[in-house]
Copies of this chain bind each other. A is one copy, B any other.
């Protein structure tokens, strides 16, 4: 798959895809003419990356945890030394904190919307 197609498939700009490669997030191989050649399933990886960037994770951290997010296919832990596990666990905690923050605020918005809609209904 060439970069343009991947871009259309994911809604991520060509420039951004090249940037992700620069940052080591994704590694397409190259065709004879120098064109990037993305493998099957690259679109899911890109959506994954986009989601995490939207959630405020810097590319450095995404690069670090991406190997462990590829699903149960390769759950064979690649060289799990203890410090590395600690680091992954720390990132897990970071994600957890973000989740708690977002959930709290989503719930607050829900409560507001509920109250506002009831108020609107009562006024009719």
Contact = CB atoms under 8 A, between A and B. Distances in A.
Nearest to A116: B77
Given A77-B119, A116-B85, A68 B108 contact: yes
Tell me whether chain A's interface is mostly helix, strand or loop, or mixed.
helix
A9 interface: no
A110 interface: yes
Interface string A99-116: 101110110111111011
Interface of A: 48, 51-57, 65, 68-69, 71-72, 75-77, 80, 82, 85, 88-89, 91-92, 95-99, 101-103, 105-106, 108-113, 115-117, 119-120
Contact of A106 (B48, B54, B96): B96
